[in-house]
Amino acid sequence: MRNEMARLNNKNCIITGASRGIGKAIALAFASEGANTIIAYKNCEKEALDVVNSIKRLGLKSKAVRADLSCINDIKNLVDMSEQFLGGIHVLVNNAGLGTRAPFTEVTEEQFTQAIDVNLKGPFFLTQAVAQHMINRKSGGSIINISSISSFKAGLNISAYECAKAGASMLTRSAALALAPHAIRVNTISPGLTATDMTQPVNDPYARPLSERVKPIPLGRVGQPKDHAGAAVFLATDESSWVTGADIIVDGGESVK
């Protein structure tokens, strides 16, 4: 049943990488606040449909759309399908990400290109396409980029990911400046160590156990996907109407040290 006091009532959203992890947590949090949502995914169709069904049970509109965000045609199709299904688009969350581990001297061109395509190229051109939609409708809007503390805090064996996420963080600032005259706000959330499939890969010799990696975190625990949902809801609502170009760091205090 729709809550008339919900903070995202009548808002239509696209969330990429929303079949699991942080994207799923944000999608469910948006739905709890009344948002209709496009669940963009690449590989996990069953998981994406599960999220869609959870949102529909709340009496809201939701649809799963497969999109390879390294492909411009897929980005165009995602926006077109979102417009057809939802009408106006009010919020975009660029969450889909990819992290491949390798020592700096062993990163291949393929690994580097893949990191840039998914973590930077996709968000750049999807932001561009959704922003043009918002400009055409004269509706304003909110665009949220999910970056990482790895965009400014170096670690071992993730150099391609770090470079791509640093670019994504600058995308926020560049787009915020360019789109402010159209009342389109662009902000970043930078997660720290969070328990997702990306941080707990199977058979990866360069992945350290979370039990070791938690030690530098002042709050003493690994983050959970839901820990990032509140920041995303805030940035999607009118409560953040004078916030643009900002980076909300959600990392349990790790970057303080």
- pLDDT at position 2 is 61
Give a yes or no: residue 255 inside a domain: no
- pLDDT at position 193 is 92
Give a yes or no: residue 118 inside a domain: yes
- pLDDT at position 211 is 78
Q: Which two tokens stand for residue 4?
A: 């008339």
Give a yes or no: residue 35 inside a domain: yes
Give a yes or no: residue 47 inside a domain: yes
- Residue 114 vs residues 103, 110, 119, 136, 164: alpha-carbon distances, Å: 16, 6, 8, 32, 10
Give a yes or no: residue 164 inside a domain: yes
**pLDDT by residue, tens only, the chain of 257 residues:** 567 678 999 999 999 999 999 999 999 999 999 999 999 999 999 999 999 999 999 999 999 999 999 999 999 999 999 999 999 999 999 999 888 889 999 999 999 999 999 999 999 999 999 999 999 999 999 999 999 999 999 888 999 999 999 999 999 999 999 999 999 999 999 999 998 876 766 556 666 777 788 888 999 999 999 999 999 999 999 999 999 999 999 999 999 97
- Choosing from 161, 189, 227, 233, the catalytic residue is 161
Q: What is the pTM of this model?
A: 0.94
Which CATH number goes with the domain that contains 52? 3.40.50.720
Residues 6+ apart with CB under 8 A from 61: 12, 36, 37, 55, 85, 86
Give a yes or no: residue 4 inside a domain: no
Give a yes or no: residue 229 inside a domain: yes
- pLDDT at position 200 is 67
Give a yes or no: residue 131 inside a domain: yes
Number of domains in the chain: 1
What residue numbers bound the domain in which 237 lies? 12-249
206 is a catalytic site residue: no
